[in-house]
Structure 1
């Protein structure tokens, strides 16, 4: 009977890369994302940029 030496097995590392958001930034597993009905995905830290640049939202202070 032949026994496989665990030291000779290739090491397979799982990538932490999940994808790219609508603003072009890398999404990693565990990141908070927003998914829009049209399929666009945006990182939480890019949501304000996405709303203003892509959807034409205007940031204002209620007065």
Structure 2
């Protein structure tokens, strides 16, 4: 017997996932990724752009041009 992908094994055991149980879409982030209801987000009130809280540093660097450094 060969190796089977875990998603296939799970589907064979439990069936296809119920897509109706998927959380509601809230919007998209600065990269175009989905943000779901219940996700922790940061919103730029001037532009309406948003990002997941965990991606705040990336947003500040990539979109706003911030530079992070150690004060010397």
TM-score by length of 2: 0.59
The count of residues paired between Structure 1 and Structure 2 equals 51
How far apart, CA to CA, are the structure 2 residues paired with 1:52 and 1:18? Answer: 24
Larger RCO, structure (CA 8 Å, separation 6 or more): 1
Larger radius of gyration: 1
Corresponding residue of 2:8: none
More helix by percentage: 2
1:32 aligns with 2:40: yes
Gaps of 5+ in 2: 1-19
Runs (4+) of structure 1 exceeding 3 A deviation are none
Task: Tell me if 1:62 matches 2:45.
Answer: no
How far apart are 1:53 and its partner, in Å?
A: 1.0
Q: What's 1:9 paired with?
A: none
**TM-score when scaled to structure 1?**
0.66
Q: Which runs of 5+ in 1 are unaligned?
A: 1-12
